Amino acid sequence: MNIYTYTKIQTMKSKFNLILIYFIFTLCISINPEKVSAQEGSITFQVFYDELSPYGTWVDNYEYGYVWIPNVNFGFTPYSTNGYWLYTDEGWAWVSYYSWGWAPFHYGRWFNDNHYGYMWIPDNEWGPGWVTWRQADGYYGWAPIGPNVQVSVAYSVDYEVANNQWTFVKEKDFGKTNIDNYYIKNKKNGALISKSKAIKNIRKDDSRNVIYNAGPDKIEVEKSTGKSISQISIKAIDKPGQHLNNDQLQMYRPKMEKNIPDQQKPVPLKVEKSNTDNRKSKGDRNKQPIYNPKNNSNDQNNQKRNPSNKQNEGRQKQESKPLKRK
């Protein structure tokens, strides 16, 4: 082999190595774009808009922007219907039987609209369950935190939620996977609230800089139920969804960005215009007056059927069974 042939072969090898390195680098980036984008913090509300659209209706609300109405049965109440509380390394987490439960029960806020019923407002902070907690003599109670309410206010003694938005259960029944069979009737809520006290088991997630209420004390629940409670760890997964796997609650919970500079603003593919204006509503059930049980009466308007739900009851996508361990 002469020097010319040898040099030519070495040059070809170098070019081949460069091409191979480029191919491997490109493959590593493209093999899981969701992971890369998640690490860069580029998961936006578009995930909510796309993933929840098959299970409900997005409405352009005058006050809150894009809000979501789930396709659920009449009488649906957030953190009460079709789910249960599970003790985890981040406190009591709401485990929903709805396949879409990973999103609206761990991000954002719910509010009860006089026309539509319960609607969900997206937000970017993840928590085990955005509720306020109370404890009465032999009972635990919880209710969704309303929109535009700071966590420091929601977990204070004076924070008030309308009586009919509370869910109470006897302490001995708390934590059951079929807990909805043990709820106390709403007509007793007023009496229970008047003699209850706020549960302030406050924790901070330093990795996300989020403060939340972890709920009832584990040891107290064990005493009330007479059962030992195992702590389940929450593990983040890369795709929307949730499921139990042995001693893990695997759930999609990325760090969300409302918007990303220099990128198109996230919007739902299909949006309906709101039929109500919350700014002018005199019957806003989400206003939070100073706590006064005498003025906190049940709102009979809560019995109105959600018009969107009535149209969609025939095509609901619900899961009525507990999440199965894999």
Give the DSSP H or E segment for 110: strand 109-113
pLDDT in tens, 122-168: 999 999 999 999 999 999 999 999 998 888 778 876 788 899 999 99
Question: Which residues are CB-neighbours of 150 under 8 A, at least 6 positions away?
Answer: none
Average pLDDT over residues 299-319: 39
Please indicate, yes or no, if residue 36 is contained in any of the structural domains: no
The reply to whether 52 falls in a domain is yes
What's the pLDDT at 10?
55
Number of domains within the chain = 1
Tell whether 18 is covered by a domain. Answer: no
| Range picked from 95-104, 112-121, 298-307 for highest mean pLDDT | 95-104
- pLDDT band (50, 70, 90) for residue 280: very low
Over residues 246-254, mean pLDDT:
94
Taking 60 as the threshold, does the pLDDT of residue 181 lie above it? yes
Contacts of 32 (CB under 8 A, 6+ apart): 238
C-alpha angle 131-136-140 in degrees, rounded to nearest 5: 40
Q: Which of 157, 116, 163 is nearest to 143 (CA)?
A: 163
Asked if the model's pLDDT at residue 169 lies above 50, the reply is yes
- Burial class of 225 by CB neighbour count within 10 A (0 to 12, 13 to 18, 19+): middle
Alpha carbon 314 to its chain centroid, in Å, reads 25
Alpha-carbon Rg for the chain, nearest whole angstrom, is 24
Q: What is the pLDDT of residue 17?
A: 59
Binned at pLDDT 50, 70 and 90, residue 266 comes out as: very high
pLDDT at 286 over 60: no
The whole-angstrom separation of Cα 211 and Cα 122 is 17
Q: Which pTM value belongs to this model?
A: 0.75
Cα–Cα distance measured from residue 164 to residue 185, given in angstroms and rounded to the nearest whole number: 10
* pLDDT tens digit sequence for 205-249: 888 889 999 999 999 999 999 999 999 999 999 999 999 988 899
93 CB-near residues (< 8 Å, 6+ apart): 85, 86, 87, 106, 128, 129, 234, 249
* Closest by Cα among 42, 39, 45 to 58: 45
Q: Is there a domain that residue 9 lies in?
A: no
| Domain-located, residue 248 | yes
- When mean pLDDT is compared over 174-183, 249-258, 296-305, the highest value belongs to 174-183
> By C-alpha distance, which of 285, 264, 225, 234 is closest to 49?
264
Q: Which helix (H) or strand (E) holds 307?
A: helix 307-312
The two tokens of residue 259 are: 């918007």
19 — pLDDT class (breaks 50, 70, 90): low
Q: How confident is the model at residue 30 (pLDDT cuts 50, 70, 90)?
A: very low
pLDDT (tens digit per residue) in 32-73 = 443 333 334 468 999 999 999 999 999 999 999 999 999 999
Q: What is the span of the domain harbouring residue 155?
A: 45-276
In a domain, residue 6? The reply is no
Cα(291)–Cα(310) distance, rounded to whole angstroms? 34
pLDDT on residue 302: 37
- C-beta of residue 71 within 8 angstroms of C-beta of residue 64: no
